[in-house]
């Protein structure tokens, strides 16, 4: 980021979040001090680094995208003061790496109260930590963070005889910030809507351009083209483009396998736009027409997704959409004789014994936000006993994926007609006051509609 660009959201939004966080800190410990550092730059190989991606929690509270920054938030009974440590201006480095905001411009630009060059951290932190009781940090996050923290605290402890107290309570900052991040603000939902629309367009492009004889990487290139061409900064995660049997490998990547007529292609790909992820999966026939067995399993998966969508509403728990999907998938597996009714006796027993997991081994949903597997507890906050906590109740403005699938590996007791079929259908849902809104349906999901899109090319 440079002062010539703008923050993703107005500085007031980040200030509002810091103020909300301060409120929660007061409620928990009366006050305290937060230290939160952004992500480090990562080298890929000699002299070449990975594209930089800020830390999501840090970004949520500051809107600041540069590396080398630390936020210190000083919370007392009446005020919350933000101190930002950032890279100092450096004309020589800026020629090579681009503009730096610098501490002089930071207060006005970011709306923080104070800013310092990050070279001052070791000097300023012991002062800021003096006489603070509760210290909010990422607990046990990295050896380097722990080492620096210990250094600062040792410096404060060294002043004990001068009457200075060092922090005595170490608290987890992530739990508080992640609970806030679980509920999306209107501007966040709007950004996620745009991210999902770009990803849907990319999936459409992939369906339209897919031809037998291409390779998985050709499709990956189409996706990347569509993401970047629409202004998305990055993929939200590495794209999966899986031809034929590869679709049964859950964490497959786009590789070089040939797209063969008669096989399915599974694409799980989403862009990151302005720091927010989208996450879409579609599965389609490479030659444009589902075979009988492919269509049968596809329609079961889609019906499972529809059941899960219907169960995604406020008041239901996080697990209810999954349970609804499992019910439909398991019944479908029995209907298609992939599971034996004779052996299992009933759909309920096939679920209770976990027999269906052979073909459906992952959960139906995860939170979605700045991180593709976004933060926020999947259990209700409250009870201190993790085993006692019920699954999270869905509430308006939570965002989650709904992604049932079926994965049929070759086996003696499985009809050969189904071998190597892997199907997943994934959409992004915003919980509303009465149900949920799917924001990723800019690409069709119905089998007939997919075939029509592919025919039209
Ligand atoms: N693309 C990652 C996931 O679907 O969870
Ligand atoms: Mn997902
Ligand atoms: Mn996905």
Based on the residue annotation, tell me whether 90 is a catalytic residue of this protein: no
Distance CA 39, CA 36 (A): 10
Provide the pLDDT for residue 233.
97
Ligand 1, atom 4, lies closest to the CA of 279
**Pocket flag, ligand 1, residue 65 (CB < 6 Å):** no
Based on the residue annotation, tell me whether 120 is a catalytic residue of this protein: no
- Superfamily (CATH) of domain 3-179: Creatinase/prolidase N-terminal domain (3.40.350.10)
Provide the pLDDT for residue 401.
99
Instruction: For residue 48, list its beta bridge partners.
Output: 45
Give the number of C-alpha atoms closer than 13 A to the C-alpha of residue 353, restricted to the C-beta side. 15
Q: How far is the CA of 439 from the centre of ligand 3 (A)?
A: 14
**Closest atom of ligand 1 to CA, residue 424:** 4
Q: Is 226 in a helix, a strand, or coil? A: helix
Reference 171, options 146, 141, 142, 136; nearest CA is 136
Provide the pLDDT for residue 231.
98
Alpha helices, H only, 98-229: 102-110, 121-129, 143-157, 173-182, 186-209, 216-229
| Predicted structure pTM score | 0.96
The secondary structure of residue 120, as a DSSP letter, is G
**Pocket flag, ligand 1, residue 403 (CB < 6 Å):** yes
**Residue at token pair 């991210």:** 195
The residue count of the chain comes to 457
| pLDDT tens track, the chain, 457 positions | 444 468 999 999 999 999 999 999 999 999 999 999 999 999 999 989 999 999 999 999 999 999 999 999 999 999 999 999 999 999 999 999 999 999 999 999 999 999 999 999 999 999 999 999 999 999 888 888 889 999 999 999 999 999 999 999 999 999 999 999 999 999 999 999 999 999 999 999 999 999 999 999 999 999 999 999 999 999 999 999 999 999 999 999 999 999 999 999 999 999 999 999 999 999 999 999 999 999 999 999 999 999 999 999 999 999 999 999 999 999 999 999 999 999 999 999 999 999 999 999 999 999 999 999 999 999 998 766 767 789 999 999 999 999 999 999 999 999 999 999 999 999 999 999 999 999 999 999 999 999 999 999 8
> What's the gap between Cα 279 and its chain centre?
8
CATH topology of domain 183-456: Creatine Amidinohydrolase (3.90.230)
Reference 237, options 193, 184, 280; nearest CA is 280
**Pocket flag, ligand 1, residue 237 (CB < 6 Å):** yes
Residue in 147, 251, 342, 455 annotated catalytic = 251
Based on the residue annotation, tell me whether 373 is a catalytic residue of this protein: yes
Provide the pLDDT for residue 4.
45
Residue in 66, 276, 424, 451 annotated catalytic = 424
Based on the residue annotation, tell me whether 178 is a catalytic residue of this protein: no
φ, ψ of residue 131 to 5 degrees: the values are 65, 20
Based on the residue annotation, tell me whether 144 is a catalytic residue of this protein: no
Provide the pLDDT for residue 457.
84
Based on the residue annotation, tell me whether 268 is a catalytic residue of this protein: yes
Based on the residue annotation, tell me whether 78 is a catalytic residue of this protein: no
Provide the pLDDT for residue 5.
64
Provide the pLDDT for residue 384.
67
Spatial strand order in the sheet of 427-431: 399-402, 427-431, 436-438
Q: How far is the CA of 325 from the centre of ligand 2 (A)?
A: 15
**Closest atom of ligand 1 to CA, residue 281:** 4
Q: How far is the CA of 294 from the centre of ligand 2 (A)?
A: 22
What are the extents of the domains in the chain?
Answer: 3-179, 183-456
**Pocket flag, ligand 1, residue 279 (CB < 6 Å):** yes
**Pocket flag, ligand 1, residue 183 (CB < 6 Å):** no
Q: How far is the CA of 315 from the CAs of 179, 221, 311, 428, in angstroms?
A: 18, 41, 10, 19
Q: Is 227 in a helix, a strand, or coil? A: helix
**Pocket flag, ligand 1, residue 372 (CB < 6 Å):** yes
Contact 266, 242 (CB under 8 A): yes
Give the number of C-alpha atoms closer than 13 A to the C-alpha of residue 220, restricted to the C-beta side. 18
The best mutation among 401, 423, 424 to test binding of ligand 1, ranked by most ligand atoms within 8 Å of the C-beta, falls on: 401
Contact 104, 90 (CB under 8 A): no
Contact 135, 171 (CB under 8 A): yes
């Amino acid at each position: 980021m440079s002062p010539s660009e703008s923050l993703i959201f107005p500085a007031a939004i980040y200030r509002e979040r810091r103020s909300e966080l301060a409120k929660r800190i007061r409620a928990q410990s009366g006050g305290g001090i937060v230290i939160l550092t952004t992500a480090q730059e990562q080298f890929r190989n000699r002299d070449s680094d990975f594209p930089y991606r800020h830390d999501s929690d840090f970004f949520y509270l500051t809107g600041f995208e540069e590396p080398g920054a630390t936020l210190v938030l000083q919370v007392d009974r009446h005020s919350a003061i933000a101190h930002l440590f950032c890279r100092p201006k450096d004309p020589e480095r800026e020629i090579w790496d681009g503009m730096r905001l610098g501490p002089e411009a930071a207060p006005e630009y970011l709306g923080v109260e104070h800013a310092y060059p990050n070279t001052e951290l070791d000097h300023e932190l012991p002062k800021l930590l003096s006489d603070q009781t509760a210290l909010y940090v990422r607990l046990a996050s990295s050896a380097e963070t722990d080492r620096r923290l210990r250094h600062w605290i040792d410096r404060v402890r060294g002043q004990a005889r001068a009457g200075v107290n060092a922090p005595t309570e170490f608290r987890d900052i992530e739990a508080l910030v992640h609970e806030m991040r679980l509920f999306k603000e209107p501007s966040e939902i709007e950004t996620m809507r745009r991210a999902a629309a770009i990803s849907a367009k990319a999936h459409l492009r992939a369906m339209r351009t897919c031809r037998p004889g291409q390779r998985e990487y050709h499709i990956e290139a189409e996706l990347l083209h569509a993401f970047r061409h629409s202004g998305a900064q990055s993929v939200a995660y590495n794209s999966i483009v899986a031809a034929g049997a590869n679709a049964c490998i859950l964490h497959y990547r786009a590789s070089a396998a040939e797209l063969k007529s008669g096989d399915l292609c599974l694409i799980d790909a989403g862009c990151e736009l302005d720091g927010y992820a989208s996450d879409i999966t579609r599965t389609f026939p490479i030659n444009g027409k589902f075979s009988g067995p492919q269509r049968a399993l596809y329609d079961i998966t889609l019906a499972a997704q529809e059941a899960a969508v219907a169960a995604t509403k406020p008041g239901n728990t996080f697990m209810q959409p999954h349970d609804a999907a499992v019910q439909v998938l398991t019944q479908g597996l029995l209907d298609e004789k992939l599971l034996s009714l004779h052996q299992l006796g009933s759909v309920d027993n096939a679920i209770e014994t976990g027999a269906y997991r052979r073909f459906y081994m992952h959960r139906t949903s995860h939170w979605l936000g700045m991180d593709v597997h976004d933060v926020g507890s999947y259990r209700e906050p409250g009870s201190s006993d993790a085993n006692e906590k019920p699954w999270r109740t869905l509430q308006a403005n939570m965002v989650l994926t709904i992604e049932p699938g079926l994965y049929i590996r070759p086996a003696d007791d499985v009809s050969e007609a189904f071998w190597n079929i892997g199907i997943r259908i994934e959409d992004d849902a915003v919980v509303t006051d009465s149900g949920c809104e799917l924001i990723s349906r800019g690409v069709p999901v119905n089998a007939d509609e997919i075939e029509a899109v592919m025919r039209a090319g």
